[in-house]
Amino acid sequence: MRNLVIDFDLTIIWPLILLALFFLVNSVFMYIKSSADCKAAMRRIKGTFSTREEGEEFLEWGRSRCGEQRDYKYFIVVSASALGVLCAAMLMADSWKVFIAYQLWFALSFVSTVSFIVTIPTAWHYAKKSEWLKAGICLLAMLMAAACAEHFFHQRINAGHVVCPGCSDENDRPDEN
């Protein structure tokens, strides 16, 4: 069971934590930049302009900067909340993690299978156009998608054995003896 939890942490939780942390840091930097732009725009709006059109144009620019500041503040709240939830998930009991992993492995194997299927015509398209670098990248993506789908499929079976020890692999119901 511990191997399933470690695999779940390494393939799901940690990448999502890093992604949420990236979005949080990016949102904070963009909020600071848009805050400075908004303050500069408000100071400039109070100043005088040579023409009325220049003043209206700058006023619109200032409003858009202040609107961006509100948007980045929202992104900060969302990414910080996601980071908090993911960090709390790291502290959950192993039995809960295995149950959640059991629910997620099927969805992840489905997404990997769809990714594999989508890259097939993409690789074919680039091979017909003789863009070998892009075709090679698509082939590598196909290989990774196939490996991920196979891994997630088998991890779902393994998690199923932990969640429901009496269940068989065929019907996910307890064996009737």
Mean of the per-residue pLDDT values of the chain? 84
Judge whether residue 127 has pLDDT over 60. yes
What pTM does this model have? Answer: 0.69
Q: Is the CB of residue 28 less than 8 Å from the CB of residue 76?
A: yes
pLDDT in tens, 13-64: 999 999 999 999 999 998 888 877 777 766 666 555 555 566 666 667 667 7
Which range has highest mean pLDDT (3-12, 91-100, 109-118)? 109-118
Contacts with 28 (C-beta within 8 Å, 6 or more apart), sequence order: 76
3-state DSSP call for residue 172?
Answer: coil
Q: Domain segments of the chain: what residues?
A: 1-91, 94-177
Closest-CA residue to 31 (of 77, 63, 92): 77
> What DSSP assignment string belongs to 8-43?
HIIIIIHHHHHHHHHHHHHHHHHHHHHHHHHHHHHH
CA angle 148–22–62, rounded 5-degree value: 135
Tens of pLDDT, residues 65-95: 777 788 888 999 999 999 999 999 999 988 8
